[in-house]
Amino acid sequence: MIEELLQRAIKKALFTLYNIDTEEKEIVLSSTKKEFEGDFTLVVFPYLKQAKKKPEDLAKEIGEEVVKEIPYIASYNVIKGFLNFSLDKNFWIEFLNKNKSNETFGYHAICSDKPIVIEYSSPNTNKPLHLGHIRNNLLGWSVAEILKANGYAVKKVNLVNDRGVHICKSMIAWQMFANGETPQTNNEKGDHLVGKYYVLFDKEYKKEVKELVDKGVDEKIAEQEVPIMKQAQQMLVKWENKDKDVRDLWQTMNGWVYEGFDKTYNRLGVDFDKVYYESNTYLLGKNLVNEGLEKGVFFKKEDGSVWIDLTEEGLDEKLLLRKDGTSVYMTQDLGTACLRHNDFGSDNLIYVVGNEQNYHFQVLKKVLEKLGFDWAKNIYHLSYGMVELPNGKMKSREGTVVDADDLMQEMYEQAKTQTLEHGKNDFPEQEADKLYNTLSLGALKYFILKVDPTKNMLFNPAESIDFNGNTGPFIQYTYARISSIVRKAMQEKNIDAKTIKISEKITLNDKEMDIIKTIYSFADVIKEAGRNYSPATIANYAFLLAKQFNAFYQDNSILKETNEDVMIERICLTYFSGQVIKKAMHLLGIDVPNRM
């Protein structure tokens, strides 16, 4: 990378001229701002005191030394304390020739054998996946791929919350109201069927609470004493005591849900290296709690419940086991964290979970640290904002969520309508179906991932599917246009952009240079996205490159260019742009079509 050569030359100049010894990595270079001439900029202010020079003089003297060292530097200019270097056009042509067919361009070398474990999805088996889960899954999968592109080994894991009182609620409602209904008897996805009974439980629960309140019972007491809630709590105790009938029903209903989840994951295009189940990990957590009791890390209250006091750490007292001995989310998370550390030998655990769980993960880290696990300090909660709709927030219990399957189907229908309205489809039925699916998922994924993960977002399906503006379909259409040009170059001109060399005789115009510099920055963009766990960085980069290519395409002939050397350069630049767009979109989990 030219930046490394510049850093080395600047380091040498500082030492030679002023006896300033500094590390290369401490020499900060940035891309020169658009309004100034240059490619890379060095700010010299940090060296003024030691050099005892005025900013302009210091910058000029460093510039003169660097030009002697690096033949690629065509010129430099100084604006106050800013030293701007301009690279020779042959550097950029050599860059294009060397990298346009490099399949690993932008990706970083392997930097660690120890895997980073990233958990995402984490559904409950009492309801289908919804819009909130979609953001979770897309973030988790994309961050995993970005980390891989940064040279890290990554293990993608899912923790299925398959036990607990919320699961028992669906089971109780099914026993009360289903009359033996199954996914097969009514041709319904299993996760949808189970979710229906979770909603029915809440309706019945509210009805029973109201009946007690109408009889004069205090509302808070009524909420704890209604028969249907008592039944769910009793079922959980039976489950933990391995009651056969309860376990059989639990396995049956969870099996329905898993089959439904798999279909949703497959359509969404996310996967996992390993799936954990809370029912297999909560006992490990209970063992850790018992060990903590023996060590005096935890304490037991008079009612038998087990807690930890974290008030000195600025937190609070946290429940670890209920008074009836049943576990809570924190219990199983303790066990799962230790299991993952042991399974993969990993010291870095990333949890992709909504920001409403910020406190939970602060507590998890502290509890594990107090239990003596040094690696707990490396737990990272990738806290993301909620997804809202134009009509407000979603509530699973009330059945007002936007179902993931329904949303993907709605996106498919909108993609089909938009494509036909734009007159872009002359494909056979099977190929058209694949295109609509590619566009719809591209629209959904891009719209969600282009937003900073930490921010809440408003999802608008109609806006996301637009073929213009900052959308997935706009970038996909740009790639399809690029593919068409590259195909025609081969078919009509017999020019293979992968292998042909660009001549050094040509001159690069401003729009071409904009694209080349953006492509050149791809590796740094990947690094930044990995450092911040932010797919939005990649999404905005892909849009910028697509936008720059379209601006170039509008103003420049490519296949009709009369100067053959220029035509070859533009075909190669077009091809390289497409390859980088494709790579960037892959990191977001988005396919790009060769034809539209």
pLDDT computed for residue 400 by the predictor: 54
Report CA torsion sign: 85, 90, 94, 95.
Answer: positive
Q: What local confidence, expressed as pLDDT, does residue 425 receive?
A: 65
**Residue 424, pLDDT score:** 63
In the chain, % of residues over pLDDT 90: 85
In this prediction, residue 537 has a pLDDT band, given cuts at 50, 70 and 90, of very high
Instruction: Give yes or no for residue 71 having a pLDDT over 50.
Output: yes
pLDDT value of position 467: 85
The pLDDT value recorded for residue 564 is: 96
When comparing pLDDT for 488 and 403, which is higher? 488
The count of residues in the chain is 596
Q: Report the alpha-carbon distance of residue 205 to residue 364 in Å, rounded.
A: 32
Assess whether pLDDT exceeds 50 at residue 394.
Answer: no
Is residue 160 very low, low, confident or very high in pLDDT (cuts 50, 70, 90)?
Answer: very high
- The pLDDT value recorded for residue 398 is 45
pLDDT at 194 over 80: yes
Angle, alpha carbons 175-179-180 (nearest 5°): 85
* Segment 494-528, tens digit of pLDDT: 999 999 999 999 999 999 999 999 999 999 999 99
pLDDT tens, position by position, 228-278: 999 999 999 999 899 999 999 999 999 999 999 999 999 999 999 999 999
Q: How confident is the model at residue 466 (pLDDT cuts 50, 70, 90)?
A: confident
What is the rounded CA–CA span in Å between residue 593 and residue 466? 16
Q: What is the DSSP string of 534-562?
A: -HHHHHHHHHHHHHHHHHHHHHS-STT-S
pLDDT of residue 562: 95
- Delineate the domains of the chain, giving CATH numbers in brackets: 2-87 (3.30.1360.70), 120-388 (3.40.50.620), 404-587 (1.10.730.10)
Residue 393 clears pLDDT 60, i.e. is over it: no
Contacts 24+ apart (CB under 8 A), 426-432: 427/595
Average pLDDT of span 411-440: 86
Cβ atoms of 545 and 514 closer than 8 Å? no
At residue 397 the predicted structure's pLDDT band, cuts being 50, 70 and 90, is very low
User: What pLDDT is recorded for position 77?
Assistant: 96
Please state which of the ranges 202-206, 311-315, 392-396 shows the lowest mean pLDDT.
392-396
Per DSSP, the three-state class of 312 is helix
What average pLDDT does the structure give for the chain?
93
* pLDDT one-digit tens code per residue, 346-382: 989 999 999 999 999 999 999 999 999 999 999 999 9
Confidence of residue 391 (pLDDT cuts 50, 70, 90): low
Q: Which pLDDT score, from 0 to 100, does residue 282 have?
A: 85
Q: Which residues contact 1 (CB under 8 A, 6 or more apart)?
A: 523
Give the tens place of pLDDT for each residue, 104-115. 999 999 887 789
Sign of the CA dihedral 509, 512, 515, 516? negative
Which of 61-70, 79-88, 419-428, 448-457 is least confident? Answer: 419-428
Is the pLDDT confidence value at 529 over 90?
A: yes
